[in-house]
Amino acid sequence: MAMATGPPPLTGIKVLEFAGLAPGPFAGMLLADAGASVLRIDRAQHGGGARPAQDLLTRHKASLAVDLKRPRGAALVRALVAGGADVLVDPFRPGVLEKLGLGPRELLALNPRLVYARLTGFRRDGRYKDMAGHDINYLAVSGALSLLGREADTPHPPMNLLADFAGGGATLFQGILLALLARQASGRGQVVEASMVDGASYLATFPRLLLKTGLGARGRGRNLLDGGCPYYDTYATKDGRYMSVGALEPQFFAALMAGLGLAGQGWEARRHDPGEWPALRRVLEHVFARRTRSEWEAVFDGTDACCAPVLDYAELETDPAREGDQRPAVALRRTPCLAVKRQGDAPGDAATHGQGRGVPGDGYEGAALTPGQGGEEVLAQWLGWTKGNEYDVSDGGFVLAKAESKL
């Protein structure tokens, strides 16, 4: 018998996300995908029509435009916190919200159950705490960047995936979930502090430990898993595309050699000798260049050679036979997260694909969220507020309608 599907796991959780770029919105998106009601606090749009913010990580969110420097604007945020917000996401540099009277001391006094989640690039207590930076800088001082790149090249970051999104937004999301879990036992919220330096460093735990072993001590780009080993790398095919190879175990390596027509040449016995790696790499480059990627797929699909095509998003988006549809990060069998890909009336397995109709763009196109979009509906859902009673809109921003007498 099929298991009954319940609401997404974070249904009922109310989140205030101060507008930012990349990691903060990503954390908010993860919360929204899991069913939380996420209300982004955007800057007020003075003197003209509302313009979309520079943020594409907006699915399942709504927005309020607020001038936090106006007393009635900041009062509105305090009222939302006092009214039962569960999570607040602070993406600013240290001290910004404190200067506006919206720091953790003030807001936790209003709502002791609040999870006040803060994200910085550099550590708040480190030597770089007063400096501006980006993903590449946080990755650099974490030590992780020193491990990335080819032997003969400079250290090279993997776009802004590792510090901004994995070490930043996803790590903050994890901290929020831990704080919500702890609140079940204590009844109290707390401050959650994440930094992209610490997040990236934590993600690099395994390669950092390998530096003290023979598997990672040869220097950047010369080891088993960092591009130094020829049977853990990518190779160009005849049509200018690429195949990935990860044939580490002996049985997988044997299957690779068989598929390439190289079985019986002695590479199985010599593959552990780094001195043989340059010669093996030349052989692999030559052999892979003889056929197109699709021809190599025909050889290796269904085998244990650990040899798979390098796919790009353009083909994933247009080829339904590929595993390109955007799904929730994890399948929850009883309480699935929300769908990303549009599914119509018959979505199939809700846990695998997510529940609900999905979003425009199917995860390939971000939808800009105009400041104020959907905000009035969320205020009504959260607190039963209506415009002209509890709040007003003044000079492009939402403000508290009444005096902040008890806040």
Secondary structure E strands in 227-352: 232-236, 242-246, 307-309
**Residue in the block written with tokens 């990236």:** 200
Rounded Cα distance, 24 and 92, in Å: 9
Rounded Cα distance, 200 and 145, in Å: 9
CA nearest neighbour of 156 among 129, 128, 131, 135: 135
The first and second tokens of residue 157, run together, are: 């970051």
Rounded Cα distance, 192 and 204, in Å: 21
Secondary structure E strands in 30-152: 37-43, 61-66, 87-90, 115-120
User: Which residues, 6+ apart, have CB-to-CB distance to 134 below 8 Å?
Assistant: 121, 160
CA distance readout (Å), 53 to 365, 366, 368 = 15, 12, 7
User: Cβ distance 349 to 339 under 8 Å?
Assistant: no
The residue from 42, 86, 135, 164 that is catalytic is: 164
User: Cβ distance 401 to 392 under 8 Å?
Assistant: yes
Active-site residue, 135 included? no
CA nearest neighbour of 122 among 110, 107, 133, 108: 133
Rounded Cα distance, 332 and 34, in Å: 10
User: Catalytic residue positions?
Assistant: 164
